[in-house]
Amino acid sequence: MGKKVAGCVPVRKGENGEWQVLLVQSRFKPDIWLFPKGGIEKKEKNWDAALRETMEEAGVCGKILCKLGKWKGSNDQKLIMYLLLVEQELSKSDTRWKERNERPRVWLSFEQAERTILQVDTSIRRPELLEMLLLAKARILTLIDNAPESYSSDASPEDENDSQEYEEGF
C-alpha cells in the first residue's frame, strides 16, 4: 500500500485582483514545481496534515475551502488535496516555515502555473498536478467568484468518515 499524503493548492487574490496559485520547487527534481504536500501522521486528520505540510513546505497558512479530491501520485502515493485560501504568508526569517531555505516558492496566475507544470519533460511530468490546478480554478469560480457576498466556508472540509473512504477510494 502506498504512503498516504495530504496537501493544499494555495490560492490568493493578487494586487491586480486576479487569482494566483502558489507552487513550490521539488527538492528531488528541481525542474518540477508542485503543490505543498506530505505524509499524514498517525491519528492526524487529513486536513490537519495538509495545513501542517503547507506551512512547513510553502510558509503559508489560511482557510481550507474544500476538498479537491484524491489522486495517485508518484511512488504509489495516495494523495488527498484541499483548496486553501491563503490568509498569511510567512517571511523567510520565520522559523515556522521549516523548508524556507530548501524550497523556493512562487505565486503565479493560473495560466502561468499551467505553463510551468507542462514545461517539464514528459518523462518526469506529473499529470495529477495539472488536474489539481484546473479543478482548483473551477472550484474558485463556483465557491467564491459566483457566491453571495456573505459566503463563508465554516463547514468541515471532509466527511466524518473520510478516512475510511480514503482507503476504499483507491
Task: Indicate whether 41 belongs to any domain.
Answer: yes
Task: Indicate whether 132 belongs to any domain.
Answer: yes
Task: Indicate whether 77 belongs to any domain.
Answer: yes
* Residue 89, domain CATH: 3.90.79.10
Residue 74 confidence (pLDDT)? 74
Would you say residue 161 has pLDDT above 50? no
At 121, is the pLDDT very low, low, confident or very high (cuts 50, 70, 90)?
confident
More confident residue, 134 or 145: 134
> For residue 113, how many C-alpha atoms fall within 13 Å in the half-sphere facing its CB?
26
Task: Indicate whether 157 belongs to any domain.
Answer: no
* Tens-place pLDDT, residues 68-87: 999 987 778 899 999 999 99
At 146, is the pLDDT very low, low, confident or very high (cuts 50, 70, 90)?
low
Give the DSSP H/E element, type plus range, for residue 59. none
Task: Indicate whether 155 belongs to any domain.
Answer: no
The DSSP call for residue 110 is H
Residue 141 confidence (pLDDT)? 86
Return the percent helix, strand and coil in the chain, to nearest 5. 30, 30, 40
Residue 153 confidence (pLDDT)? 46
Across the chain, what does the average pLDDT equal? 86
Q: How many domains does the chain have?
A: 1
Give the DSSP H/E element, type plus range, for residue 159. none
Would you say residue 170 has pLDDT above 80? no
More confident residue, 165 or 142: 142
Angle CA 165–167–168, to nearest 5: 65
Residue 95, domain extent: 4-147
Residue 152 confidence (pLDDT)? 46
User: Which residue in 25, 30, 16, 161 sits closest to 106, CA to CA?
Assistant: 25
Task: Indicate whether 20 belongs to any domain.
Answer: yes
At 155, is the pLDDT very low, low, confident or very high (cuts 50, 70, 90)?
very low
Least confident of 7-16, 53-62, 151-160: 151-160
User: Which residue in 17, 18, 6, 15 sits closest to 137, CA to CA?
Assistant: 18
Task: Indicate whether 69 belongs to any domain.
Answer: yes
- Overall residue count recorded for the chain in this entry: 170
6 near 40, Cβ under 8 Å? Answer: yes
Task: Indicate whether 75 belongs to any domain.
Answer: yes
Predicted model pTM: 0.85
